[in-house]
Structure 1
């Protein structure tokens, strides 16, 4: 399996931290109020109903300087597409996921066509959320899935979706186009272990996926959302040869310094860091301190500190925009770090 550092080097990122893109689903909700997200699939649904909208956002992040863009597949699952009335069976669900993945591929191709002679080839990460992200009840922020979802159910969910992604990547237009798998907003040690087990089963059956990162949401500077230590979570995912990096996402920025400290002490794996631009309450009230969204300049300043604390990849999650990523890129591109391939 290729290391993250070698992938970044082939993408033209050398001697500095890599720039990840920013928010997608929340960005659409904030800036495109007429976009239909009522099916609970957020950007994943918009990718089907209004593909040009998603491709335009991908391009905005590439133009802003992102070295990695994430696909509009965070909520994608066979059951999710079927419940939303978009698919009637697994084959149709596969087609929908493949179409969403291809929007990022097309955006990158169009970007590169307008950058003749560039040494940069931005990477594409297939975004997959936790099982909670598909339940529509914000449980990805707590890991409390209730008695009706057992550990075996969590593992089976991820295994089925990994197979779904693998089938999509066999489509001719997607072969060799997806560089990474981003397994995001994981709230608990139980789910992390289930993901690792599912990846292991996939490997045992000879099913190949691109290298994956697993990132956690958190409830404090030392704990992931369900309460387990972030250090234990990092060690759990490091046990998988399919995982090339770990980190944090969808967390308040004031948690980041402590979380990075614990991660750096617990693992030698590359660390990925993409927090929110504002604090999410995890409830129907939504965002705390609605006037407290970090400006692009403030976000970029903080990101410099995250790189100094050991993050190899930095970007944004909810409430970040292309403007935040542009400011971040301008700041980080002037910083040098030591990266071993």
Structure 2
């Protein structure tokens, strides 16, 4: 029987249960950097992962802001990372150089957490140690063609190709996490913006293979993206995708990210009904107009206050971990965290098990 790494989600959720609240995830990252630092180049196919190489302080500061806002979990700026991506972007020439860049980017989150914990200790006795999840996107996220939203991967990729891509990238991550600088510092793996049950199957196959090879990564969550309430981006029943994602003991949570807020309540209910593991939810904070390949105008942006109000319904529909994706900010997370700690009775304690 396959064994997997210990998941820290149980203790985190247990602590949240005692406070009658969900666990709080951080918010948008790549879009936050693009909006706040327009002078930073995000071209080259690596998006914010490239910025992490060229302007690490901006990334470290963003992590700190989310921690100070109240996030229980922060995610690394590694969503579009791949060894080939670093090479194509001209940031690395060899596998070893690519490994070093990935490790350094993950290290920015580790540094930010260490700084935050130190500041807490200096401020008083009440302390918390937030978790760090390494963010990795769909294979489509590395292709630069938005296929992470549809699951229709171009360039002739087969199911076996997708599996081998994830296996290779997981192996790259395992090498990084086994270094002296990172060993023992990373808590979770966030597989984000997954558009299909097919890719989820490839991901769990790769995780299980590493486990059989005695290479154990942190426990993973798989978050699907979709524009509708009952199907994946590729069009499969969302329940089938959840079953595929949770078929491995390596997966400790399942849910959604980078989705429009209006589909969230029903979509979460469909997921929670069949999921044997905790549900994570982090939708977008603004409407994406696909036909125009642009964000909607300001009227389509959800305010931090309205976002926090909506999150109460998400919890009632099954989410145990809530945060934000594109166009959410540290202020959205601060408002969410504050709302979750002022006795609003977000959910009954029995729901947070």
TM-score, normalised via structure 1 length: 0.96
1:218 to 211, 218, 226: 226
- Name the counterpart of 1:242: 250
Query: Which of residues 147, 155, 171 in structure 2 aligns to 1:139?
Result: 147
Structure 1 match to 2:335: 327
3-state DSSP of counterpart to 1:206 = coil
Give the corresponding residue for 2:76: 71
1:311 aligns with 2:313: no
Inter-CA distance 76–292: structure 2 relative to 1 (3 Å threshold): same
Tell me if 1:80 matches 2:85. Answer: yes
Pairing 1:178-189 to 2, within 5 Å after superposition: 178-189=186-197
**Does the 8 A contact of 2:17 with 2:352 survive in 1?**
no
* 1:21/1:61 contact within 8 Å kept: yes
Q: Deviations over 1:223-281 (max 9, x none)?
A: 11111111110011111010000000000000101111101111121000000001223
- Asked if 2 retains the 8 angstrom alpha-carbon contact of 1:188 and 1:228, the reply is yes
Instruction: Tell whether 2:170 aligns with 1:170.
Output: no
Any idea what SS the aligned residue of 1:185 has?
Answer: strand
Moved more, 280-289 or 152-161: 280-289
Structure 1 residues 340 and 322, CA gap change in structure 2 (3 angstroms): closer
Report the Cα offset of residue 219 of structure 1: 2.5
The aligned residue for residue 38 of structure 1 is 43
SS at match of 2:192: strand
The alpha-carbon deviation at position 74 of structure 1 amounts to 0.3
Gaps of 5+ in 1: none
Q: Please show how residues 246-265 of structure 1 align to structure 2 within 5 Å.
A: 246-265=254-273
2:60: which partner in 1? Answer: 55
Distance change in 2, residues 1:2/1:14 (3 Å): farther
Structure 2 CA distance for partners of 1:59 and 1:283, relative to 1, 3 Å? farther
* Aligned equivalent of 1:267: 275
Q: Secondary structure at the match of 1:28?
A: helix
TM-score of the two chains, using structure 2 as the length reference = 0.93
Cα RMSD (Å) = 1.5
Equivalence map 1:286-301=2 (5 Å):
286-301=294-309
Q: Deviations over 1:30-65 (max 9, x none)?
A: 121111101121110111000000000000000000
Kept in 1, the 8 Å contact 2:268–2:314? The answer is yes
* Deviation, structure 1 residue 3: 4.1
Q: Structure 2 residue aligned with 1:107, among 99, 106, 112?
A: 112
Partner SS state of residue 289, structure 2: coil
Residue 197 of structure 1: aligned partner: 205
Q: Secondary structure of the residue that 1:175 maps to in structure 2? A: coil
Q: CA deviation at 1:2?
A: 2.8
Give the superposition deviation at 1:125: 0.2
Residues 86-139 of structure 1: per-residue CA shift (max 9 Å, x gap)? 001111000000000000000000000010133310000000000000011111
The CA distance in 2 between the partners of 1:151 and 1:7, in whole Å, is 36
Displacement of 1:282: 3.7
In 1, the alpha carbon distance for the partners of 2:52 and 2:154 equals 30
Check the 8 A contact 1:212/1:245 in 2, yes or no.
yes
Query: Is the Cα contact below 8 Å between 2:189 and 2:220 reproduced in 1?
Result: yes
